[in-house]
Every structure is written in structure tokens, then in C-alpha cells.
Amino acid sequence: MKQHRTWVFENKPVILSTGVIGGPFESNGKIPNDFDAFHGDLWMGQDSYEKAHRVLFEEAMMRATEKANLQKENIEYILGGDLINQITPTSFACRSMSVPYLGLFGACSTSMEGLALSAFIINGKGAKYILTGASSHNAAVEKQFRYPTEYGGQKPPTAQWTVTGAGAALVTDEGVGPVVTSATIGRVVDMGVTDPFNMGAAMAPAAVDTIEAHFSSRNLDPSYYDLIVTGDLAHIGREIALDLFSKQGLRIKESQFQDCGLMIYRKDQPVLAGGSGAGCSAVVTYGHLLNRMKKGEIKRLLVVATGALLSPLSFQQNDTIPCIAHAVSIEMNEEVKKG
């Protein structure tokens, strides 16, 4: 069923399995038990960080496929993306799968953009098995959007730490587990922020806009969800979002509203305002949050992945930073669905 900006999935596509891979810094974070595997260094056996980035997504896809007891020949489509020029890590990773592929770029909102589109296709009987995911690599992304790590440039407290990780989900039309019930598609919001070291402030209005649209179009009260999670506003953006909720009369409890960028690292890790990157919401959602759902700790979850749609070129031209957020609702379904 289609509503304004929101798709409601009557057939409730199932997230059958996931694959979550991380880097060395993430292995020392807050949620290491929710990853399938870690790499001991950022090179991952490759001769460039961009090639290592490709390895992350390859391994996440393979883990998700293997855990579902499927072969890559069973996968009908792959939907995914990352932050690097022309999403080359994702596209190059898909060479090894030899599966029809749709490359996506929504910056850090890519994880939920992919899940929303996958659920839409599955719900409409356009496929039975779809792999979707997103990834990021700290050294590769920092080199493109800010400064190479080796440069040692000083970062302000508003800056965030790019996650080295990849999360992939296998979406299908039947099975036991979390189901995708709806998706609200974001629109581009630009509040005039120009500082690439303050992504939280830039993205918060887009997140609030999508969340407000989600509740309006579905005629739901925020209390319907056990947890509303953004990815990744971090400390600065989360505080701005809470303030905007209050001003707009949206009753969302502070304890109910969390952020992937604040859930992945420990407080003593030097991540400044928190985590970020296309892989951040992907690994936190497909690892930590879905595991909590399977344990019965969360019944209804709304994940709102946020993305800053800038590029090195737009920054060099002194342009402002347009942002977007896509929301996907996930609920736990214990019954076996039959197609």
C-alpha cells in the first residue's frame, strides 16, 4: 500500500540472515559480540585501503548468504553502496558475486535506502532473495572527504569517526525472524550548514523531517515503537533532533531515541562526537539491533539512516550540505510465513 512518502508492506518481507564484518577499532568497541568477524588491521591483505573496503562488503555478503544456507546463485539482486567515488568498493565487490546489481548512493543513509527498496521489490513479488547492505572504511573515507589519516590533521569536537565495517542483509518473502513492515523515503533538506566536520548538525533536520512524515503518513504515535534509532547523528545531531522534536510537538522520549553512532564505540574510544559512515547504521542495525530483536528485547524498531550528500567537489565550491534520511520499520515476527 502506498501512502504519502511511505510504503506499507502487507506481505512483510523477512530479514532472513545478515553478515556483519568490522575492523580492528570496532573489535574494541561497545558491541563486538554482534559482529560475525573482524580484521586485525586496516589493510586486510590488500595494497590499498579502497581494496580493503571492497573486502569488507564481499565478506558481509558471503556471510549473509552462507547463514541462510544459500548459494550465490540463489540471489537474484544485490542493492548496495558506500561513500567512495562512484561507489567502486561496492561495485568491485559485486564482481565476485556475479549477480544482477543496483548500485546506490545515499551517503550514510544508504543502508536503509537499500533495505527499503529490497523490501519494496520483495513485497511486490519482484524477487525471492535480495542482498542489500552498505559499508565504509575509516582510512579510505577520511582520505576522500577530510584528510588522510597519516596527515594527522586536528579535528574539532563536532567531527565523527568513520566506521570500518560492512553490514549486509538477505531479504526474502518467507521465514522466521524480523520483518520489514514499512519505509518512509526522505527528501533532500538543506539548512545551510557548510562545515564537513559537523555532519550531525547538517543531518538532524533531515532526520526529523522523515520521522515526522513517517508518523503522519502511518497515523502512528511515537510510542508505537520500542526504539527509534538514527544513523548517525552522534552527540551533536541527536541533541539538535531532540530539540526539534520538542519544538514541533513530537512526543519522543529521550530514552526511546538512540543513535547508531553512539552505540558502536565505548566512551573511552577517541571518536569525538561519535561514529559515522555508511557502514555505521548497517553494522549496528544488522548486528546489534536485530540480535536484540531476536532476544525479545525489542519488538518494534524504527531505523532512520541519515546521509550528507556532499562531495569533495561541492565542498571545494563552497556549497552548503544537502542531507537526507530514510526510515524503515522492522518488527519481530515469530511465525513462519509461507509464500
Q: What is the pLDDT of residues 49-97, one digit of tens each?
A: 999 999 999 999 999 999 999 999 999 999 999 999 999 999 999 998 9
Average pLDDT over residues 178-183: 98
Task: Indicate whether 338 belongs to any domain.
Answer: no
* CATH code for position 319: 3.40.47.40
- 318: confidence class by pLDDT, cuts 50, 70, 90: confident
Query: Can you give the pLDDT at residue 269?
Result: 97
Query: Can you give the pLDDT at residue 335?
Result: 53
Q: Are residues 114 and 161 in the same domain?
A: yes
- Percentage with pLDDT > 90 across the chain: 88
Q: Which of 172, 199, 224 represents a domain boundary (last residue)? A: 172
Residues 6+ apart with CB under 8 A from 124: none
Query: Can you give the pLDDT at residue 235?
Result: 96
Q: Which of 152, 172, 192 represents a domain boundary (last residue)? A: 172
Q: Is the confidence at residue 321, as pLDDT, over 60?
A: yes
Of 67, 199, 77, nearest to 133 by C-alpha is 77
Query: Can you give the pLDDT at residue 339?
Result: 44
Query: Can you give the pLDDT at residue 145?
Result: 76
Average pLDDT over residues 300-327: 94
Q: What is the model's pTM?
A: 0.95
Amino acid identity of residue 265, one-letter, is: Y
Query: Can you give the pLDDT at residue 3?
Result: 59
Q: Are residues 59 and 114 in the same domain?
A: yes
* Domain encompassing residue 161: 2-172
Query: Can you give the pLDDT at residue 303?
Result: 98
Query: Can you give the pLDDT at residue 147?
Result: 62
Secondary structure E strands in 173-256:
177-184, 227-231
Q: Are residues 323 and 306 in the same domain?
A: yes
With beta carbons less than 8 A apart as the criterion, state whether 176 and 335 touch: yes
* 8-49 pLDDT per residue, tens: 999 999 999 999 999 999 999 999 999 999 999 999 999 999
Q: Are residues 79 and 117 in the same domain?
A: yes
The domain total for the chain is: 2
* 203-231 pLDDT per residue, tens: 999 999 999 999 999 999 999 999 999 99
Cα angle, residue 293 at apex, residues 243 and 79 outer, rounded to 5°: 80
C-alpha to C-alpha distance for 279 and 263, rounded to whole angstroms: 13
The alpha carbon of residue 43 and the mean position of all alpha carbons in its chain are separated, in whole angstroms, by 23
Considering only 100-104, 156-160, 237-241, 308-312, which range has the smallest mean pLDDT? 156-160
Average pLDDT along the chain: 94
Cα angle, residue 257 at apex, residues 254 and 259 outer, rounded to 5°: 125
Average pLDDT over residues 121-136: 98
Average pLDDT over residues 299-323: 94
Q: Are residues 200 and 120 in the same domain?
A: no
Q: Are residues 143 and 181 in the same domain?
A: no
Q: Are residues 29 and 83 in the same domain?
A: yes
* 248-285 pLDDT per residue, tens: 999 999 999 999 999 999 999 999 999 999 999 999 99
